[in-house]
Amino acid sequence: MDRQTLKSKFKQACDILRNEIASVNYIIQLSWMLFLKLYDELEDDKELKAKLKGQTYKRNIPSPYMWKEWVHKDWRSEELTKFINNDLFPFLAKLNGNGEKDLISTIFSGKEIQNFLSDGYKLREVALLLDEIKLKTKEDIYVISTLYEELLPEIGEMGKYAGEYYTPRPIIRLMVKIVNPKLGETILDPFMGSGGFLIESYNHILKSKEVFTIKETQALNNMFMGEEKKDVPYLIGIMNALLHNLPTTRIYKTDTFSEDIRKIQEKDRVNVILTNPPFGGKFDERFKANFPVKSSDTELMALQYVMRKIKQGGRVGIVVPEGVLSNTTGPFVRVRKELLENYNVHTIISLPKGVFTASGKTPVKTNLLFFDKTTPTDEIWYYEIQPPKGMKNFTKTRPMRDEDWQDCFEKWQGREISENSWIVKIDEVDKETYELTPRNPNHLKRKKLRPAEEILKDVLMEEKEVLALFEELKELLG
């Protein structure tokens, strides 16, 4: 199937779902249907390989629940919806056994994952369109994965999910290039969302060499770890991972904050953490006991988590709102103090507003914070990314692009000082607040000095007025 036909089939399916399903729920519907279609193809592949070896493969989703069977069956409208709602979903939700069965069960037992199409004929029409999409080559996979990812920002623009788990790809690619994950390292995103950091890290490693040995391929399958607590982003993250051929064996549906960070041992730590934690989310009060510094700010707790989860010599790239760097209340000061004294904070990149967009939300000023667990901080290289020429911020119609950070990355490599970059030595950091707010010295407004003659005239005039008042006071007293 050519690229144009692939796009056409996918977009037809999306258009039907948009017309039939309100709000962002159409993406949820598309995601679970696409998941079942892809998983059916994966099982077909395993079945064929086993047959060639003279072995038998037992499918995790057997008849009559496998995609190809119910999609091609001739149903009446109410029969199909009844099968989906009363048979298929309950069966998938109760699967248990190997890791893949548990993953499927976790997805389909989520309360927010459901069938939103009441019209069985429309449901089958969409399913047949998706079924026609054959992902036989890397180019086929690239086309569909790109189209799928183009839908994901819509989630952030809908009020229901408030953009809490979609990070623009240009931001992710910049962070991955700076942190530079390598083959054989353990790479974690503890707040996974749509899986962008893991996918771009995977692509980054694949580009590092042309051929991988069997041992290296096995290493790739065990490198990537993700955690996500919410039903919808977990489904979308898994779906996105499958589309990019990223191993999902170590992606878990869990609340990262439930782990007691005071008890994390070196064997449980990872080499690389890349993440964009939730800003201003609700923090479960039960989990405060898991952290040395107590706070209700999810972003501060997330920073504490990654600090404790990274191995000695490990590297971290994390998106933080400006408050994490500027807030001078006790918990923030204590965490920043520990960060500077026990970790090497080598880079802070300031982003303009509008990089993260969500409808009904005030754009948040954010920064990219990079540190490694090696030596105490000596100096921090700052860079201030500028919005497009003639604009104050990035917008939905002019979002951030890869070319917008090229100058930043080039200067970062040599830690150059320029109009948009500067270095702050640790001795220059206030030892009471440990504030790390980016303040470009080239943009500080200098007060315009008044001419000396003008100042002298004003001083003489004030002196005359003082003398006159003094004379009046003498007369009153005398």
CB 183 within 8 A of CB 220: yes
Determine, yes or no, domain membership for 142. no
For the chain of 478 residues, list the mean pLDDT of each consecutive stretch of 10. 86 94 88 94 92 94 96 96 98 91 94 95 96 82 81 61 64 97 96 92 92 88 93 89 88 95 95 91 84 92 97 97 94 98 98 69 82 98 93 85 96 97 97 96 62 74 73 74
CATH number at residue 34: 1.20.1260.30
Q: Is 166 found in the same domain as 117?
A: no
Q: Is 101 found in the same domain as 170?
A: no
Determine, yes or no, domain membership for 140. no
Handedness of CA 300, 252, 344, 175 (dihedral sign): negative
Q: Is 126 found in the same domain as 255?
A: no
CA 408 to each of CA 32, 292, 404, 422: distance values in angstroms, whole numbers, following the listed order: 39, 35, 8, 11
Q: Give the count of domains, the chain.
A: 3
From start to end of 289-343, where are the E strands? 310-321
> How much is the pLDDT for 139?
79
Q: Is 108 found in the same domain as 73?
A: yes
Q: Does residue 116 sit in helix, strand or coil? A: coil
Q: Does residue 360 sit in helix, strand or coil? A: coil
Tokens 């999902």, located at residue:
248
Q: Is 404 found in the same domain as 342?
A: yes
Determine, yes or no, domain membership for 156. no
Q: Which amino acid type is present at position 178?
A: I
User: From edge to edge, which strands make up the β-sheet containing 310-321?
Assistant: 251-253, 224-228, 187-189, 270-275, 310-321, 366-372, 344-350, 379-384, 421-425
Q: Is 124 found in the same domain as 193?
A: no
Name, in order, each residue with C-beta under 8 angstroms of 433's C-beta and a sequence gap of 6 or more.
328, 333
Tokens 């490599």, located at residue:
413
10 Å CB burial of residue 240 (0-12, 13-18, 19+) is buried
Q: Is 469 found in the same domain as 398?
A: no
Between CA 64 and CA 288 the distance in angstroms is 46
Between CA 113 and CA 192 the distance in angstroms is 18
> How much is the pLDDT for 449?
52
Degrees to nearest 5, angle at CA 238 with 232 and 241: 140
**Residue 274 β-bridge partners:** 317
Determine, yes or no, domain membership for 287. yes
Q: Does residue 371 sit in helix, strand or coil? A: strand
What is the separation of C-alpha 36 from the centre of its chain, rounded to a whole number of angstroms? Answer: 25
Determine, yes or no, domain membership for 358. yes
Determine, yes or no, domain membership for 438. no
Q: Is 234 found in the same domain as 91?
A: no
The encoded tokens of residue 267 equal 């064997």
> How much is the pLDDT for 446?
44
Q: Is 123 found in the same domain as 246?
A: no
Query: By residue range, what is the domain housing residue 52?
Result: 3-134
CATH number at residue 325: 3.40.50.150
Q: Is 417 found in the same domain as 455?
A: no
Determine, yes or no, domain membership for 22. yes
Q: Is 245 found in the same domain as 130?
A: no
Q: Is 469 found in the same domain as 422?
A: no
Determine, yes or no, domain membership for 241. yes
Final residue of a structural domain among 118, 134, 150:
134
